[in-house]
Structure 1
């Protein structure tokens, strides 16, 4: 699916930009714990941006609608997981950390959906 490929490429670029911002722009503004949180967010963001690219290629190769669904679940999980961590660091609002596991759960579900789809269609 073209949309997953474009989202994967754009989010890969965004993950690199946000990672660089964290390493350079936040260094003097937040403590080491928050820098580590930012690094986790950008790391997961980048891995799952690449996963969107992979999923888009798999959809193009096999055309399975369940792969498209898995891609959207991975995208949602990436937004919630990394987004909540980015927001936590920028805002200092610790309650945002309670949202992060919802994103992590969506990432796990997305990967399991992709695995199931691969099992059924490849």
Structure 2
């Protein structure tokens, strides 16, 4: 499980750097400045949570079943939150209307919140932390 969590964190981190570079250097001629700002929010949250996954993958004080819960919540959160934001920011240059699935963004945010919540809960209720 740790290897999967770490590799997922690395992939999301790598993609955040690539998307961040694209947002900083490739989008200014394609979309409005506020769309770039929106895009950057998705990148920022993706990177924060990629680092969080690396922490979870390296931490030996959390049991595998609890790591799986946090991992699932964070991956779903990144996929729904950040990737829907990317679509919304690029809506003016893509044929698909991402506004029709904009409801996914707050759902993804809730998954991210629950990932953090359960991590805290598991820490508080664990008898011994390594």
Counterpart CA distance in 2 for 1:48 and 1:96 is 22
Q: Distance in 2 between matches of 1:107 and 1:31?
A: 28
Counterpart pick for 1:100 among 94, 99, 105: 105
CA distance in 2, matches of 1:81, 1:7: 16
Counterpart in the other structure of 1:62: 61
Q: For the structure 1 residues 33 and 40, does the alpha-carbon distance in structure 2 shift closer, same or farther, using more than 3 Å as the test?
A: same
Number of residue-to-residue matches in the alignment: 120
Q: Does residue 127 of structure 2 align to residue 116 of structure 1?
A: no
- Partner Cα separation in structure 2 for residue 63 and residue 95 of structure 1: 38
Retained in 2: the 8 A contact 1:67–1:117? no
TM-score (norm 1): 0.91
Over alpha carbons, which structure has the higher Rg?
2
Q: TM-score, normalised by structure 2?
A: 0.86
Which of the two has greater helix per residue? 1
Alignment of 1:13-32 (within 5 A): 13-32=14-33
Rounded to whole Å, the distance in 1 between the matches of 2:62 and 2:49 is 20
Q: 1:37 to 1:96 in 2, by over 3 A?
A: farther
Unaligned runs of 5+ in 2: none
Listed as ranges, the gaps of 5+ residues in structure 1 are: none
C-alpha distance in structure 2 between counterparts of 1:53 and 1:45, whole Å:
12
Aligned equivalents of 1:76, 1:98: Cα separation in 2: 14
